[in-house]
Chains A and B, each alone.
Chain A
């Protein structure tokens, strides 16, 4: 098996290159939005890991949270609704020297994009996926999302949600993700550590973030989570134990766990794709000039 290294895509020469920072675009989220904590955590994580900004690509879908790439000065791809992960996979496979981070919301990732979510995890693509889960559709002004609570009244469910919510953590565990964590945008320091751990992790890392919508979700507020969350690392949870991770993922009510649920090592898609063992695809020779012998198979 070829182990793909995380060396820079294009070896820079000259003075040290700048680390990630804020872009010249100011976030457009509502004052008090949970997503401010997430963009801060992503920035902190990348700074902590000393990854220069030109080697980072942040890919998002559509939704309030998917505007995140605009607020940092890395490369970014603000894709269409639900499709951030396949775009991110394509970027990773074209240049696996890049640090690739997917960002988006619960509607984007667990509604319209849930098929890609599952398949990206089973492939163990070496990237990080951070979801800002506010349990509501914000940008379309407050409809139920796949993670909305049963009974919750929204614009699309005036009599209350009647569908069981998706649990992203259990789904990730079942789908073969090799790093599964949950953060809270009310605890940026822990969240930054979880994101940094995910970026460092060799394989697909998933960080679901309670990122309250202060405008459209009056149920799952900052206070709601502050009263309920507890940290797995303080509760003696062993992140190497997938059965324990499943059990913790099912906890919901007065006590809700945050932190690292599960971590394991498995070869990544890039490790197993033989073509990538020759280095980032974008730097490999392309074309078949002079390879006329290839036509012999058609004789």
Chain B
């Protein structure tokens, strides 16, 4: 396996993310698989930020551990990141801004001063153009051909033409040639590997999956790290015929989505934990009125406002318990963009089939970082069926009719002769209130029990249609990682490293976090030798759920709640610790 890690760092407002994305996209255009980590803070200007692009002959599922080329826009970037450079690496910097000497860098790492500001001044007085120089030098070192870099840069300006595009092309070419004259390409430099791959964030994949599933309505309130779902949808609203509404708050957002769904379209909302906390009451209303709705919850580090730009898997308990009383729900947890696309389609199908809310649990690490996807991994084959499924003027129509599956015929407003009231109060088969009027009367007490049974019975059907837990890696390995969501990515990469060291491990993860087949999970866990539960939270929320549902416990754990994603080397170290130390 050959891999290369390229990083650019500086202050917020320096244009770090676009420099990093240019490099990541150059790799994906060369047909390489890429993981792009965008690390930033909750400030618009100032504060340290960086973007790390990792590409590898083996598909990367995380940011990895290695750093080979560092472009530092400020001295702090050198101080923070240079110690992590591998042998053969480079630090690109502008000597006009600060100095970097070879003696302060790890062995085998070369400082490469590039006059990016001087180059920029040839074209404009705007110092931001120094980034084009930095990109050019990085591209040379990483093995990205100049003509391909120029194509990526031109495309990033869209249909814009004129000076700015020309300056960027000129400055990047000058710096590319400067680097060529003063350094050699990195030993792990990339080569064209095939047809271009698609580079997207988890949120873009979520939005794309929703659109492919036939979503016609999104209402959302801005909140990191979910906002870019709305951005993609808003950009494509007219072309795809999707109504996108920025609501006044998350209370409105989910209630609008439920209203739109009741009105006859596939509808969704998206938010992070703080916004989801506000949606909780309406989630129960969707369950009670049996109105389909899809809610994406992209978690960030809490509690409260927490770390708005850092990742965590701390909201599973809330998703499981959100809402007063009990109603059926499903919680799906994609681990990467390709899965996110398919999970959204599945979420809309489940919501519509079972007429109940479906949650899709993402997190900042999945939502905002880039990964490559192959074109054929995202097939546009869904042909959403019409929601008009009940014959108008049906005799004795009952919206909440008791059925073996728990699913009742769903009429839509505008259909003649099928009028009914969707009530957040408990109701009978026809939608009449049984809440206030009939308390204590035996026939209505029985009705309440029957209606609860009908709704909750849908969980059996949801479970039957949901993705079961997934096994990866060699059967009978001495250690099994247990995980959910984006954490799976770093585990996959760690398993590769462990395998290269002759240590076989496997992985059990949960594309469907709820509902679960407790008996099945119990039996499958019983066959493992040793397990290591990995979660980005303090208490091990999946572990707690599995203990409740399947009666299994996980004595060995690796929990992280510092806001940073898991790194493969941390998982390797923890796995070896468990493998090398006695029985659990």
Q: Which residues of B contact A54 (CB under 8 A)?
A: 413-419
Partner of A91, one of B237, B259, B375, B388: B259
Q: Which residue in chain A gives the minimum CB-CB distance to B256?
A: A90
Q: Which residues of B contact A291 (CB under 8 A)?
A: 380
Query: With A and B bound together, what is the CA distance between A97 and B266 in angstroms?
Result: 18
B261-284 vs A, Cβ < 8 Å mask (1 yes, 0 no): 111111100000000000001101
For the complex, is A235 an interface residue (Cβ under 8 Å from B)?
Answer: no
Task: Determine whether the beta carbon of B419 is less than 8 Å from that of A53.
Answer: yes
Query: With A and B bound together, what is the CA distance between A285 and B241 in angstroms?
Result: 8
Q: Which residues of B contact A78 (CB under 8 A)?
A: 421-425, 433
Q: Which residue in chain A gives the minimum CB-CB distance to B345?
A: A287
For the complex, is B504 an interface residue (Cβ under 8 Å from A)?
Answer: no
The distance from the CB of A297 to the nearest CB of chain B, in whole angstroms, is: 9
Query: With A and B bound together, what is the CA distance between A278 and B238 in angstroms?
Result: 10
Task: Determine whether the beta carbon of A287 is less than 8 Å from that of B248.
Answer: no
Task: Determine whether the beta carbon of A274 is less than 8 Å from that of B255.
Answer: no
Query: With A and B bound together, what is the CA distance between A81 and B245 in angstroms?
Result: 22
For the complex, is B12 an interface residue (Cβ under 8 Å from A)?
Answer: no
**A interface, size bucket:** 35 or more
For the complex, is A290 an interface residue (Cβ under 8 Å from B)?
Answer: yes
Binds B, one of A69-77, A176-184, A197-205, A226-234: A69-77
Known A-B contacts A94-B263, A286-B384; A52 and B416 likewise in contact (beta carbons under 8 Å):
yes
Q: Which residue in chain B gives the minimum CB-CB distance to A26?
A: B437
Q: Which residues of A contact B281 (CB under 8 A)?
A: 80, 83
For the complex, is A10 an interface residue (Cβ under 8 Å from B)?
Answer: yes
Query: With A and B bound together, what is the CA distance between A109 and B211 in angstroms?
Result: 34
Query: With A and B bound together, what is the CA distance between A9 and B415 in angstroms?
Result: 8
Task: Determine whether the beta carbon of B217 is less than 8 Å from that of A83.
Answer: no
The distance from the CB of A180 to the nearest CB of chain B, in whole angstroms, is: 20
A255-292 vs B, Cβ < 8 Å mask (1 yes, 0 no): 00000000000000000011110100110111111111
Query: With A and B bound together, what is the CA distance between A236 and B423 in angstroms?
Result: 43
Q: Which residue in chain A gives the minimum CB-CB distance to B242?
A: A275
For the complex, is A214 an interface residue (Cβ under 8 Å from B)?
Answer: no
Query: With A and B bound together, what is the CA distance between A53 and B419 in angstroms?
Result: 8
Quick one: which of B260, B267, B382 has the most chain A CB within 10 A? B260
Known A-B contacts A90-B217, A281-B216, A294-B208; A83 and B421 likewise in contact (beta carbons under 8 Å):
no
Partner of B263, one of A91, A274, A285, A290: A91
Task: Determine whether the beta carbon of B200 is less than 8 Å from that of A298.
Answer: yes
Q: Which residues of A contact B28 (CB under 8 A)?
A: 299
For the complex, is B402 an interface residue (Cβ under 8 Å from A)?
Answer: no
Quick one: which of A8, A9, A77 has the most chain B CB within 10 A? A77
Q: Which residues of A contact B418 (CB under 8 A)?
A: 54
Contacting B at CB under 8 A, from A192-233, are none
Task: Determine whether the beta carbon of B413 is less than 8 Å from that of A90.
Answer: no
Q: Which residues of B contact A106 (CB under 8 A)?
A: none
Task: Determine whether the beta carbon of B419 is less than 8 Å from that of A287.
Answer: no
Known A-B contacts A59-B259, A78-B423, A287-B383; A292 and B414 likewise in contact (beta carbons under 8 Å):
no
Q: Which residues of B contact A119 (CB under 8 A)?
A: 247-248, 252
Q: Which residues of B contact A28 (CB under 8 A)?
A: 436-437
For the complex, is A22 an interface residue (Cβ under 8 Å from B)?
Answer: no
Task: Determine whether the beta carbon of B198 is less than 8 Å from that of A95.
Answer: no
Q: Which residues of B contact A173 (CB under 8 A)?
A: none
Task: Determine whether the beta carbon of A83 is less than 8 Å from that of B414.
Answer: no
For the complex, is B243 an interface residue (Cβ under 8 Å from A)?
Answer: yes
Q: Which residues of A contact B259 (CB under 8 A)?
A: 59, 77, 86-94
The distance from the CB of B412 to the nearest CB of chain A, in whole angstroms, is: 7
Task: Determine whether the beta carbon of B423 is less than 8 Å from that of A90.
Answer: no
Query: With A and B bound together, what is the CA distance between A276 and B238 in angstroms?
Result: 10
Count of B interface residues, CB-CB < 8 Å: 77
Q: Which residue in chain B gives the minimum CB-CB distance to A93?
A: B243
For the complex, is B533 an interface residue (Cβ under 8 Å from A)?
Answer: no
Query: With A and B bound together, what is the CA distance between A264 and B381 in angstroms?
Result: 47
Task: Determine whether the beta carbon of A287 is less than 8 Å from that of B243.
Answer: no
B64-99 vs A, Cβ < 8 Å mask (1 yes, 0 no): 000000000000000000000000000000000000
Query: With A and B bound together, what is the CA distance between A91 and B416 in angstroms?
Result: 17
Partner of A73, one of B215, B284, B419, B437: B419
Q: Which residue in chain A gives the minimum CB-CB distance to B381?
A: A289
Known A-B contacts A95-B414, A98-B414; A298 and B424 likewise in contact (beta carbons under 8 Å):
no
Known A-B contacts A288-B240, A291-B380; A77 and B289 likewise in contact (beta carbons under 8 Å):
yes
For the complex, is B4 an interface residue (Cβ under 8 Å from A)?
Answer: no
Q: Which residues of A contact B571 (CB under 8 A)?
A: none
Q: Which residue in chain B gives the minimum CB-CB distance to A71?
A: B421
Task: Determine whether the beta carbon of A94 is less than 8 Å from that of B267.
Answer: yes
Query: With A and B bound together, what is the CA distance between A52 and B414 in angstroms?
Result: 9
Task: Determine whether the beta carbon of B263 is less than 8 Å from that of A93.
Answer: yes
Task: Determine whether the beta carbon of A9 is less than 8 Å from that of B414.
Answer: yes
The distance from the CB of A83 to the nearest CB of chain B, in whole angstroms, is: 4
Partner of A282, one of B199, B237, B264, B382: B264
Task: Determine whether the beta carbon of B419 is less than 8 Å from that of A91.
Answer: no
Known A-B contacts A57-B413, A91-B413, A93-B217; A286 and B265 likewise in contact (beta carbons under 8 Å):
yes
Task: Determine whether the beta carbon of B432 is less than 8 Å from that of A25.
Answer: yes
The distance from the CB of A278 to the nearest CB of chain B, in whole angstroms, is: 7
For the complex, is B150 an interface residue (Cβ under 8 Å from A)?
Answer: no
Task: Determine whether the beta carbon of A284 is less than 8 Å from that of B249.
Answer: no
Partner of B238, one of A62, A75, A275: A275
For the complex, is B445 an interface residue (Cβ under 8 Å from A)?
Answer: no
Task: Determine whether the beta carbon of B433 is less than 8 Å from that of A67.
Answer: yes
Q: Which residue in chain A gives the minimum CB-CB distance to B425?
A: A78
Partner of B211, one of A10, A57, A288: A288
Task: Determine whether the beta carbon of A90 is less than 8 Å from that of B263.
Answer: yes
Q: Which residue in chain B gives the minimum CB-CB distance to A90?
A: B259
Contacting B at CB under 8 A, from A25-75, are 25, 28, 52-55, 57, 59, 62, 67, 69-70, 73-75
Task: Determine whether the beta carbon of B282 is less than 8 Å from that of A83.
Answer: yes
For the complex, is B212 an interface residue (Cβ under 8 Å from A)?
Answer: yes
For the complex, is A115 an interface residue (Cβ under 8 Å from B)?
Answer: yes
For the complex, is A116 an interface residue (Cβ under 8 Å from B)?
Answer: yes
The distance from the CB of A144 to the nearest CB of chain B, in whole angstroms, is: 22
For the complex, is B351 an interface residue (Cβ under 8 Å from A)?
Answer: no
Task: Determine whether the beta carbon of B414 is less than 8 Å from that of A97.
Answer: yes
Partner of A273, one of B200, B208, B243, B437: B243
For the complex, is A12 an interface residue (Cβ under 8 Å from B)?
Answer: yes
Q: Which residues of A contact B256 (CB under 8 A)?
A: 86-87, 89-90, 93
Residues of B within 8 A of A (CB): 28-29, 196-200, 204, 208, 211-217, 219, 236-238, 240-243, 245, 247-249, 251-253, 255-267, 281-282, 284-285, 289, 373, 375, 378, 380-384, 387-388, 412-425, 432-433, 436-437
Q: A10-B414, A76-B421 are in contact. List 15 more A-B contacts (CB 8 A).
A: A54-B417, A69-B421, A78-B421, A78-B424, A78-B433, A79-B255, A86-B255, A94-B260, A116-B252, A275-B241, A281-B260, A281-B264, A281-B265, A295-B208, A299-B28
The 5 closest A-B pairs by CB, nearest first: A90-B259, A94-B263, A282-B264, A9-B414, A86-B255
15 residue pairs of the A-B complex, CB under 8 angstroms, read A12-B416, A52-B416, A54-B415, A74-B419, A75-B413, A78-B433, A83-B251, A83-B255, A83-B282, A91-B263, A93-B259, A281-B263, A282-B387, A288-B380, A294-B380
Residues of A within 8 A of B (CB): 8-10, 12, 17, 25, 28, 52-55, 57, 59, 62, 67, 69-70, 73-80, 82-83, 85-95, 97-98, 115-116, 119, 273-276, 278, 281-282, 284-292, 294-295, 298-299
